[in-house]
Structure 1
Amino acid sequence: MKIVVVDDEKGIVDGLQKMIGRYIPECEIVGVAYNGMEGAKLIQERQPDIVISDIRMPQADGLYMIQMLKELGCQAKFILLSGYADFEYARRGMQLGVKFYLNKPVEEEELRDCVCKVMDVIREEHAKLQEVDELKQEVNSRLMESALRDIIEGGSDHTVHAEELLQTAHIPMDRTHFVCALLEFESNMGPMMESGLDPVFRHVDRTLGQYQGVFRFRYLGSQVAMIVTHDRAIAYEELVRDIQRLKDALFRELKLSVTIGIGTVIEKAAGIHISFEEARHSLSYKIVKGSGAVIAYPDILTLSGKRQAVPEDMINKLEACLDNMDEEACVGAIREIFQWLEEERELSPVDLQLQCLNILLSSARKLSLEQLQQNDFLGRNLLILDGLSRYLTLDRMEAWMNQMMKGIIAFKLEHNISKKKDVIAEIKDYVSKHYAESISLAELSARFYINPYYLSQLFKQKTGDTYLTFLAQTRINKSKELLEKTDLKVYEICQMVGYSDSQHFAKVFEKLTGCKPSEYRKNPPIP
């Protein structure tokens, strides 16, 4: 640590330099001064950790020097040299926050003990400051991640507080092009998920550093979501190649196998969720492309765009059987679908695999990925989806599909998922009781065993609003009640209704009510 010595007696200064050099090697004398004014100037220049200063000095005594430095924001710790007759000076020093004193003449052992105590205090303060900084970073990171989730999970009319979400996520408003990707790691990701994703994020940042912004965070289970932003056109083929290089680097450097789905370029922030859903849909095609592939959304359109899909009424029938957990009816519905497939003589094995994928994704779209990953059978067969690529005949594919339906029904029974329920009503009731908590769409999907994208669409269909709009309105309604009936401060109400940023809360409140929280309290509506 750096030390400055200030004393008008050169012999004392020289003696302190020798003792510190000999007995306290972890400290370095970075300057000496012989009066208070000279000492104040030197301390401002050198920014030492510790200052050892005499009290009585010409031009400005030690206490006046300390007072000047404190007013200038000096953070150094001071050790005052005093005699037995300097009690009044010592009392004034305490008022200035000085806690450490040495009596003249200074003994080596006393000097070492005193300086070591000061160093311990400095280290403890630095550790506390670092802890506070880390906590702030953690809070900011969580706020940013929450905003990113809201952005990628937003509905088609994602307009309630789009600007605030972009600001919270630190996405500059001047960005004009956006692309989403979804990375799904294989089973060897377990230890990494526990210890942290920083090594993965460093590879992402390094490989995609040419783009102005890359926002990445853990999404669900072993998935990492990614938003690439740029203020000019993004060369899509080049981006796909960059992401391929990222995949190769993750395997080469971290021994992590990953499959990546990539959405298309979107030219407005409100449409980011479209690119993300394209990335999610692309990722589901690893059944055809295989694990470890990079799958761009335009590629899956060329795979399935010209082929006739299984009729919607057949899919709806299978979905209804699955809702009712009727295994026998599911077998009958699948038989009907495969009879239709048998009539499509021009379908190649890959075509048949794609049709099975579409059937499976449609019939299981209500189920939560995170919850399904907890089930060993479905984790091996449904989520990994490699098994289907081995089946090249209709009868074997049909048997595989029946096996999948049976596994889904068993899973639903195991987790006590009712046959038919008004899940949106349940979610609204849950939100009305837990609005003060962090309840993202992804977290709700995990709790209620529903695919987040399906939940987003179903919520809008049933209520006319996006989930984010409903959550914001619920929180603001509760805050209005608290403003009317309590004397709580606005920032306290902000935290009680689930917002951690009072400025963001005020903006949402004003957007939904037309006035600021303080104005609402002064002029509440007349019943």
Structure 2
Amino acid sequence: MWKIGIIDDDRAVLQGIRRAIPWDELNAEWAGEALNGEEGLEMIRSASPDIVITDLYMPVMNGLDMIEQLRQTGYAGKVIILSGYSDFEYARQALRLNVSDYLSKPVSVPTLKSVLGQAIADLEKQEEKRMKQDELLQKLRLYEPFVEKEWVKSAAAGTLQNSRLDTEIPTPYRHWADCDHTVLGIELVRDQRATKLSLPDWSLLRFAISNIICELTQEAFASFEYTDLHTNRSVVIIHSDRTEPDGQLRQRLEQLGVRLIDCVQSYLKLKLRIGIGERKSSIREIGNSTEEAFRVIDLNPQPAVSGYDLYVFAQELHSEGTGTPIRPVKLYLELAGAIRTSQENQARKIILDYMTRLEKEEGITKSYVGMLAGELWGIIAFAFYEMGTVLDDIFSNDSITREIADLKRPSELAEWLSAKIGIVFSSREWGGNGKHRQAVDFMMEYIHEHYAEDITLAGLADKVYISRNYLSMIFKNITGETFNNYLTRVRIEKARELLMEKKALVYEVAEMVGYKNVPYFSTVFKKITGMNPTEIVK
């Protein structure tokens, strides 16, 4: 409720104004009163009224001096002057002090009601604006770690915009500018055991591997970043002192690679292949080190350490293996990103552009096309899985394996992948039927039963075992409105029913339907119904 304080040296005026204010109608309450400006300051500091009605001519401290002190101390509430004198100079000073209105005594009840109503309406707008700003700030803080994580991934893939690198490096990574950078490309070998894992198990496995990698790398290097790239590939970006000799750094990197391979094999019974890219001095070149790390894995030269799938890229390898095209990290990252953001046409274009370039290259074998198809299908499947769609529910593994085996050229692979993506985006699963229809039905029922509680989309996502972003999408596809709009509409409809029963005050009804902030409730109520809550309870 809005709090109103009254200051006047005439007790009869204090009592008269207090009786004249329609408190319930304005959704307001009495905050306190005072007989002069000095007492008024104390009352305002202790009670923090939203609106102050004050006389000007008072003993000890007049109204203007009091208002000036309030503004100097940061008081942001509404001030309404009620004076028995019409003085232009006083009015001019009042405007300078951001006074809401200047009324002459005696004031009529309708005028007082109108002025207070306007002041409260202004306060409600300010409160709504503040809440939106707070909500935006909270979202920015919530998304900040995600944005920073994506920035690291973009740096590893070489997709950062070079023109912004000098000005838009996130704060936690500013120190990168003073280091050298070397990428360890890590590939989880898809052996017989790994290929049998379901996508949920694969996701858990990646998490376990990342924990091992981060723990061991932290022991070996003071500064590094780890990020997943796609289904079975990840990278560690090592930041090293520029004064460290190349030989010493390479030895430390090889020792880390050996430990990573041994520990993953020992604890998870899985095999890693690791490539070490060239050392780079610029953030802009990290993507090149990543490509080199995976390039050397594909070329499979002499291992850096006997008995380990650990390879180090060297300049002489730039001219080798021209018949084996690079499997670009950038392509994989952009494709997964397009699918996660439901950009079907963009996903098709990324595939078509790359396969068109690949079609012109020599040495493209059927086995290479099959290998590339398997990798791209894995990336697509995992990206859809993160959105809540399991491709195993749409395509059988056996049919996918047979179809991949028949692909001979990059153009055939582009056509095949494009068709599969189209099927998924237009499928019953993606459109929100079947089990997704059941999930949305559960959500709607839950909202109607628990509308007074703190309901969040993230909380419901946990209950129906669907990712938050994907659940938001299918909810809107099925209901035609967003989750938040639906929840708000249910709450306001219930509030209208309760108000029409005339058994509870406005602030009580607001709490009963899940709103702790009454002014915000009133604003939302009017926006949806076209009426103020107080108009219904009359």
Normalising by structure 2, what TM-score?
Answer: 0.41
Normalising by structure 1, what TM-score?
Answer: 0.42
